[in-house]
Amino acid sequence: VQGDVLILDGSMRLTRQPMPQQGGAQQPGWGQPAASPLEGIWTAQTPNGVFAFIFRGSQYRCTLNNALIEVGTFSLSGNQLHYAVTQGQNAGQRGVNTWQIQGSVLTIITPNGGGMQFFRQQ
């Protein structure tokens, strides 16, 4: 902590902001950024069990049968999902996949043409 700034992992900085008084109006320009269309939990049944992607903000987690496989960051540019693995066996790997959502189905297609469908969980 440095004054009104909380520094996380040496690179992320959170700055304290004044809050409106209880019952007060929200200040112009404040609020949460729009959530990614991927926000939430997406699962697929595989021969090895339930594979899940959990997207929160600009971060994701992959699990298989609730065991953590990898953690990383992502960004979206049109139908492209840019990712960087930060934890797990593939830490340091970066890549770009194609994504599409139709209803409650997320399809992720890798550059080699392989694909997988995930279903949104409530």
How far is it, in rounded angstroms, from Cα 16 to Cα 74? 25
How big is the chain by its Cα radius of gyration, in Å? 18
Give the helix/strand (H/E) hosting 109: strand 105-109
In angstroms, the CA 71 to CA 14 distance is 21
Class of domain 40-121: mainly beta
Structure tokens at 66: 């609730």
pLDDT at 52: 96
User: Tens digit of pLDDT per residue, the chain (122 long)?
Assistant: 556 656 555 555 666 655 555 554 544 554 555 578 999 999 999 999 999 999 999 999 999 999 999 999 999 999 999 999 999 999 999 999 999 999 999 999 999 999 999 999 97
What are the domain boundaries of the chain?
Answer: 40-121
| Stated pTM of the model | 0.71
